[in-house]
Amino acid sequence: MVYAFTINSTSFPAAKVANVGQLLNLALPLALTGAGLIFLVITLKAAFDILTNGDNPDALKKAYAAITNAVLGLIIVVASFLAVQLLGVVLKTNILPK
């Protein structure tokens, strides 16, 4: 038996994506939120490691390196977001709603 269904924007949310700009509308806020949460978790874990391993220099180096990597990762994510926004302005498309 074959079941057929129609794809419209009310029954299938992916049908709302018609071009790359709309796809970025959905993906960029989720990616920024995920990057922020990952940054928070890594920073809190590294801070906990600093507090608990204050007498171990190797553990302190690892914790400081984790904080440095987390900050650099967040900077890269924000810079890529700004690059996509700039690309949208240059191409005269509205990537994210205002």
pLDDT tens figures, 58-90: 999 999 999 999 999 999 999 988 888 888 778
Residue 2 lies in a domain: no
Round to whole Å and give the CA distance between 23 and 75: 23
Domain that holds residue 60: 40-91
Residue 60 lies in a domain: yes
Q: Determine the length of the chain.
A: 98
Grade residue 1 by pLDDT with cuts at 50, 70 and 90: low
Residue 23 lies in a domain: no
Residue 81 lies in a domain: yes
pLDDT tens figures, 36-45: 999 999 999 9
- The number of folded domains in the chain is 1
Q: What is the pTM of this model?
A: 0.69
Residue 98 lies in a domain: no
